[in-house]
Structure 1
Amino acid sequence: MSRYIPPHPTGDLMKTGKEITPEEMAADLYPSDTTERRIAEAVFNGDEDEVISCLKEAIDSGSDPLSLIDKGLLAGMSIVSSLYDRDMLYLPDIIMASNAMKDGIEYCKERSGKTPELKGKVVSYVVEGDIHDIGKKIVAALLVAKGFEVIDLGSDVPVNEVIDSVKREHPIMLTGTALITMARYSFKEVNDKLLEEGIKIPFLCGGGGVNRDFVSSLELGVYCEDGVNVPEIAEDIINGATIKELIRKYVIFNI
């Protein structure tokens, strides 16, 4: 199933010299199909009720629910992600759009009776002893926008719960965030227990509570300073990148 990739802004928009609003930028990026555009726009606006209303109308008219996920819901979220990368949108926009998209995906799944094809699975959590989940929410929303399934374990997650989830879900990678410095040592426990179980997947660690040196001391650790890089890292993993290659590309080259 092909994914919708928002086009770059047109030359005319970039040459006007005027400040462009997020809404004006998004208007140039929406799908050309009227039905798909309405759904994408509802996601962009974070309007959950409008998302369901548009989906119901489209499906009742004969549209394929799974196609609407890709060409409408994910299209809208991709635009949100793109404008977030350009500092034109902020955390509340990401969360609202993500919630609207998730509601839409569940509705489409119910109407189709099928599960949409996803690129890969990622387990995400906030380290034990820490309840700050803003970074995790951003990472999860950006991953979902790029077609990945996110198993969100929540905040203050015990080490054994993380390990059990990884063993059960078989993700392509694990992401953990920590804002409290003292809580970061739980990352080492997770790293060591994964190795004891013979599980060697990339373990992305980020947040204000960790730094490059600490994460580099973990055999599975990949330091992630900016959450916007996570979907690209996930893409590299499904394309065969090793932990050493990820460190070389995203850590060493960014020093």
Structure 2
Amino acid sequence: MKPNQEFSNIFVRYDLNALHKDFKAKGSKTKLPRSSLQVVIDTVIAGENETISDVVQQALTQHTPLEVIREGLIRGMEEVGYLWRERIYYLPQTLAASDTMQIGIEICEAKMGHSYKKKAVVVTHTADGDLHDLGQKIVNALLRASGFEVIDLGKDVPVEEVLVAVEKYHPIMLTGTAGLTLTMNAFERISQELSHRGLELPFVCGGGGGVTADFVTSFQFGIYGADAAQAPQMAEDALAGKSWLELRKKYNG
């Protein structure tokens, strides 16, 4: 049999191919005539972290670091957030885009000589004993895309470490993910300790296994997060001054 000599479709990312064929996100607010910023946006959407440095450096010859961050990098991640909500993008594309955005922000911060001012702090973690942190990574990416500073404690985080972080960073919201029934009870222990220490804030919990609305709303401060895409709006609500009880009523009925 004659070998196939056509190699053009090997290693093609069909998700990006579709996007570049005149795909317009229905929720897109990106209508920028400034070509260098549009290149930044496209690079973030494509998750091309190997080229973002050159792209951002080029944009910085025409725009201020704040413009590149707000009108390029964050706009790009807003598009990615829409693609995630519409189930057009999945975990690999979203994380690649988030990493690309972060590289770009670090370059702009170095140019400014200081950190980009975020809206507020959110602390995230995956429960003590649990290594399933994919959900947390998505939450981190979407929160950062919305302008929040994320203190990512990582996976398998002891209860005491979570509490220390809350006391240290004074977040507007705490999130926890767990993929195992055996590990989700750490959330209840965190709730009890938060109450004991007089630390009142929304504690959004999600994941798999037995992490259900009934379980999460059974303890103080608990709000059930059915989908990672809810995290940015929950953080916006917390930033606006809504209490954990108000968030629970809004998102858990």
**Equivalence for 2:105:** 105
Shift of 1:227: 1.0
Query: Hey, what does 2:23 align to over in structure 1?
Result: 25
User: Is the aligned partner of 1:73 residue 2:84?
Assistant: no
Residue deviations 1:147-166, cap 9 Å, x none? 11111110000111111111
The aligned amino acid for 2:76 is G
Bigger radius of gyration? 2
CA distance in 2, matches of 1:44, 1:62: 21
Q: Map 1:72-151 onto structure 2 (within 5 A).
A: 72-151=72-151
RMSD: 1.6
Q: Is the 8 A contact 2:124 2:150 kept in 1?
A: yes
Q: How far, CA to CA, are the matches of 2:19 and 2:58 in structure 1?
A: 27
Counterpart for residue 6 of structure 2 = none
For the residues of structure 2 that align with 1:94 and 1:179, how far apart are their CA atoms? 20
2:41 matched to 1:40? yes
Residue 114 (structure 1) shift: 2.1
* Structure 2: distance between partners of 1:194 and 1:107: 37
Q: CA deviation at 1:117?
A: 2.1
2: CA distance between counterparts of 1:203 and 1:27? 32
3-state SS of 2:131 partner: coil
Using structure 2 for the length normalisation, give the TM-score.
Answer: 0.88
Contact 2:179–2:207, Cα closer than 8 Å, also in 1 = yes
Q: Unpaired segments of 5 or more residues in structure 2?
A: 1-16
Match of 1:238 in 2: 239
Contact (CA 8 Å) 2:124, 2:174: kept in 1 or not? yes
Q: Distance in 2 between matches of 1:73 and 1:214?
A: 38
**1:8-62: per-residue Cα shift (whole Å, max 9, x none)?**
xxxxxxxxxxxx9333325884442211100011111111132110111222x25
Question: Deviation digits for residues 181-233 of structure 1, max 9, x if unmatched?
Answer: 01011111111111111100000000013111111111110011111111111
Label 1:122 to 1:130 Cα distance change in 2 as closer, same or farther (>3 A). Answer: same
Deviations 1:52-76 (A, max 9, x none): 10111222x2521122111100010
Q: Secondary structure at the match of 2:82?
A: helix
2:184 corresponds to: 184
Check whether the contact 1:177–1:206 (CA below 8 A) recurs between aligned residues: yes
